[in-house]
Amino acid sequence: MEADIFKALADPNRRAMLERLASGELTGSALGEGFAISQPAMSQHIAVLRGAGLIRERREGRSVHYAVNPDGMAPLHDWLSRYQAFWPERLGRLKDFLKEMDQ
Amino acid sequence: MEADIFKALADPNRRAMLERLASGELTGSALGEGFAISQPAMSQHIAVLRGAGLIRERREGRSVHYAVNPDGMAPLHDWLSRYQAFWPERLGRLKDFLKEMDQ
DNA sequence: CCAACACATAAGCCAATACTTATGAGTCGC
DNA sequence: GCGACTCATAAGTATTGGCTTATGTGTTGG
């Protein structure tokens, strides 16, 4: 699981795809625009991201709408939290951020 | 930078090494114990982790002590925070954690 | 129906990478 | 100084991974 996530994120194209999806749901062809790779390459990347649980898909007619999976990054976050002890100053900044959010 | 981190973390052996180092500083040979790979392989993995800024080293005599770099994971954390909007419930748990820390 | 469309799968190719053995460079104890 | 020790580097090999072209599967509109 965790390993699949790290592997999926190791590729810059896949990270870029995720970042585009972070702005909202997109169909496969819409997501592919701006990438200098073929449609099959995109499809394969999507398969990897889905295999890692990072995206969800919703078929609608002949197109498929992809979106970021709400808690797909959770295992990564959990893994990363093991190292929070190493950056107390960042915790402070995060605290400020959360305080702001409360208002 | 960011790309180097993701690439470094894509390998399970390197992640395991980091997790061992999270418990505290270790020399190269001590870090290598329990891994079924050769010493040069370990050394190469270490070079990748250092290249990604994830570990620091301290020479002491003929051995080298490796440790997690305090803010090496910061770029990863920053990247990940872009997706925090997708897990509000996790933010809640984190808030509780920080509140506990204050006491 | 049938042609165009949207996406997935197959198969092959090439580059990146993780591993090996062999060796190098520096340090320590005797 | 010399052998043992710790780690790094070199060079070669085998696997992995991302890309391509070609093709398959399902959907839609005329």
Give the residue with greater pLDDT, A29 vs A93: A29
Contact check, Cβ <8 Å, A6/B10: yes
Banded model confidence at residue A81, pLDDT cuts 50, 70, 90: confident
Banded model confidence at residue B85, pLDDT cuts 50, 70, 90: low
Give B1-48 pLDDT, tens digit per residue.
Answer: 889 999 999 999 999 999 999 999 999 999 999 899 999 999 999 999
Give A13-60 pLDDT, tens digit per residue.
Answer: 999 999 999 999 999 999 999 899 999 999 999 999 999 999 999 999
Average pLDDT over residues A58-68: 94
B40 CB below 7 A from strand C atoms: yes
Answer for the pair B20, B26: CB distance below 8 angstroms, yes or no.
yes
Give the residue with greater pLDDT, B99 vs B27: B27
Banded model confidence at residue A8, pLDDT cuts 50, 70, 90: very high
Does the pLDDT of residue B98 top 70, yes or no?
A: no
The CA–CA distances, whole Å, from A75 to A27, A52, A57, A99, B92 equal 26, 10, 20, 25, 16
pLDDT reported for residue A26: 95
Residues counted in chain B? 103
What totals of helices (H) and strands (E) does chain B contain, helices first? 6, 3
pLDDT reported for residue B86: 61
Contact check, Cβ <8 Å, B68/A83: yes
Taking C1' of D28 and every protein CA, the nearest residue is A62
pLDDT reported for residue B93: 54
Contact residues on chain B for A3, CB-CB shorter than 8 A: 12
Strand order in the sheet with B55-60: B26-27, B63-68, B55-60
Contact residues on chain B for A82, CB-CB shorter than 8 A: 19, 22
Contact residues on chain B for A83, CB-CB shorter than 8 A: 22, 68, 73
Q: Does domain B1-102 have CATH number 1.10.10.10?
A: yes
Judged by C1' against the alpha carbon of A61, the nearest nucleotide is D27
Give B48-74 pLDDT, tens digit per residue.
Answer: 999 999 999 999 999 999 999 988 999
Q: Which residues contact A22 (CB under 8 A, 6 or more apart)?
A: A68, B82, B83, B86
Answer for the pair B5, B52: CB distance below 8 angstroms, yes or no.
yes
